Amino acid sequence: MAAPQRPHIRDEMNFERPDEGKTVELAKNIWRIMPPPPSGNVYLIQDTLKTVLIDSGVYTTFDYLAEELRKLGLRPQDIDLVINTHEHFDHIGGNPYFSKTALIAAHRNAATKIELQDEYVTHMKEYGQVGDDFSVHWWLENRNLIWTGDYKLKILHTPGHTSGSICIYEPFQHFMFTGDTVVRGEILTPMLESGSAGDFVNSIERLLTMKIKVLYPGHGPESTDPDRDLTWAANAARERIREFRESQAVGGKRRIQIRAGSQEA
Ligand SMILES: [Zn+2]
């Protein structure tokens, strides 16, 4: 097998933004809203039974999100359900604007960190984000199924980027919302606090067994070549594990790499 290319840790703010400032209908009743950085993508599913947001962006770009919803004829209180793909600030920051009127859902491993505002993991304050109500009303489990009308959303626990990361799969249309687990192209998102490269490889190998036509990631544009991007991500994570192992001296002091830099422990 050809050696995988060297993985690189992405710049958190430096994704492709081909539709900057544009809200794009990706499939019937499914929209991608791309608030300004540092926000992640927000996806709207305006289905026949329920109106759902996948992620809520950052707190400080809520006005942008609300305006894009207004253009689609929606008020924030029209959202029935907000599903967080994981516990990072750029995916949960808008939750307080919806938590009085919508159900907020996240995997149980993410829910505790969101509710506790576990700064070590969420990075809210680090990125200048605030907010006063981070209740999570529905603690999701692997294989939960949510019926929104024309679509069914299957929750897949995919730890790696963080411990509470999920992908959300439509088993009949074969698209998948991936949060920061997989983005388009040769970019390996970092395994941040609570994450694990080993768990990541396990999660991606499971996704590779599934029929997926398109990925809708938490940053940047969609991927219409899921097999390529999933395979690259798994190989890059394996390479990272190998590099880390080889960087450790036998019997030496353990060095834990948690971000682009490193931290002695
Ligand atoms: Zn993230």
How many angstroms separate the alpha carbon of residue 14 from the centre of ligand 1? 13
Pairing of strands 152-157, 145-147: antiparallel
Q: Which domain holds residue 169?
A: 24-264
How many angstroms separate the alpha carbon of residue 192 from the centre of ligand 1? 8
Residue 254's pLDDT is: 62
Dist CA 223 CA 213 (whole Å): 9
Residue 161's pLDDT is: 95
Residue 261's pLDDT is: 39
Q: Kindly report the CATH number assigned to the domain that includes residue 245.
A: 3.60.15.10
**Alpha-carbon distances of 48 from 128, 150, 178, 198, 212, rounded to whole Å:** 37, 7, 23, 39, 23
Domain count, the chain: 1
Residues 170-198 have a mean pLDDT of 91
In a domain, 9, yes or no: no
Residue 22's pLDDT is: 87
How many angstroms separate the alpha carbon of residue 79 from the centre of ligand 1? 23
How many angstroms separate the alpha carbon of residue 251 from the centre of ligand 1? 33
Q: Give ion ligand 1 contacts, CB < 5 A.
A: 88, 180
How many angstroms separate the alpha carbon of residue 201 from the centre of ligand 1? 16
In a domain, 13, yes or no: no
Asked if residues 244 and 190 have their Cβ atoms less than 8 Å apart, the reply is: no
**Alpha-carbon distances of 220 from 29, 84, 175, 216, 242, rounded to whole Å:** 20, 17, 16, 9, 28
Assign 147 to helix, strand or coil. Answer: strand
In a domain, 253, yes or no: yes
Dist CA 159 CA 181 (whole Å): 8
- For residue 196, the one-letter residue type is S
User: Which of these, 17, 162, 187, lies nearest to 84 by C-alpha position?
Assistant: 162
In a domain, 100, yes or no: yes
In a domain, 4, yes or no: no
Residue 224's pLDDT is: 95
Assign 238 to helix, strand or coil. Answer: helix
Question: 14: pLDDT confidence band, cut at 50, 70 and 90?
Answer: low
How many angstroms separate the alpha carbon of residue 165 from the centre of ligand 1? 8
Question: Above 70 in pLDDT, residue 249?
Answer: yes
In a domain, 96, yes or no: yes
How many angstroms separate the alpha carbon of residue 86 from the centre of ligand 1? 7
Maximum average pLDDT range among 121-135, 161-175, 244-258: 161-175
In a domain, 1, yes or no: no
DSSP state of 172: T
